[in-house]
């Protein structure tokens, strides 16, 4: 039976890396459902993820469905793992504060599955004491973090805040799924 992963994609220049994550997971016979925040859709389109995942992409908590389906509840009952890559400072803060105001955060709040977050943001944002406190809080609640690493950021600076490479994220997913 194939494993099921929800991949949350948030607003970051690193959103392009999520396309390769989907491709690599599909090669491993892992079913992937992508949930995109509205900010993520400013960097990359849902159609790209739909084509690669061969699943509908969730972009709106209140999208019209043909049949009644509280999608965040349905998804939270079927996944083996939730991965947020890239994970922006915004979504990390929302999760840490218990804010569930979009399809991704509602699904995360409704799920008991393991959650992996791969942060991606500018160094000053990542090192902000509020962001660091949010990460510590989520780690204490069992959330797992992959990265970030030092590298070239959107600003052109070479600092900590770059999302870990796809291979590292996929290895962590495999580890959590036991494959």
Strand partners, 119: 87
Structure tokens at 122: 């500018």
Range of lowest pLDDT (21-25, 60-64, 73-77): 73-77
Distance CA 172, CA 134 (A): 21
pLDDT-derived band at 62, boundaries 50, 70, 90: confident
Structure tokens at 89: 């400072």
Q: How far is CA 37 from the centre of its chain?
A: 10
Structural domains in the chain, sorted by start: 4-154+164-177 (3.40.50.1950)
pTM for the model stands at 0.90
pLDDT-derived band at 74, boundaries 50, 70, 90: low
């Amino acid at each position: 039976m194939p494993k099921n992963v929800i991949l949350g994609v948030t607003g970051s220049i690193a959103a392009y890396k999520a396309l390769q994550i989907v491709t690599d997971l599909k090669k491993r016979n892992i079913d992937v459902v992508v949930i995109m925040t509205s900010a993520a859709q400013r960097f990359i389109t849902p159609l790209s993820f739909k084509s690669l995942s061969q699943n509908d992409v969730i972009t709106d908590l209140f999208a019209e469905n043909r049949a009644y389906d509280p999608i965040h509840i349905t998804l939270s009952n079927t996944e083996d793992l939730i991965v947020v890559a890239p994970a922006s400072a915004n979504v990390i803060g929302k999760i840490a504060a218990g804010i569930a105001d979009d399809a991704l955060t509602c699904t995360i709040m409704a799920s008991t599955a393991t959650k992996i977050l791969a942060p991606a943001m500018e160094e000053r944002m990542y090192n902000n004491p509020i962001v660091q406190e949010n990460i510590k809080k989520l780690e204490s609640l069992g959330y797992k973090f992959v990265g970030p690493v030092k590298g070239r950021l959107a600003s052109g600076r070479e600092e900590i805040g770059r999302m870990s490479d796809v291979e590292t994220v996929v290895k962590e997913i495999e580890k959590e799924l036991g494959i």
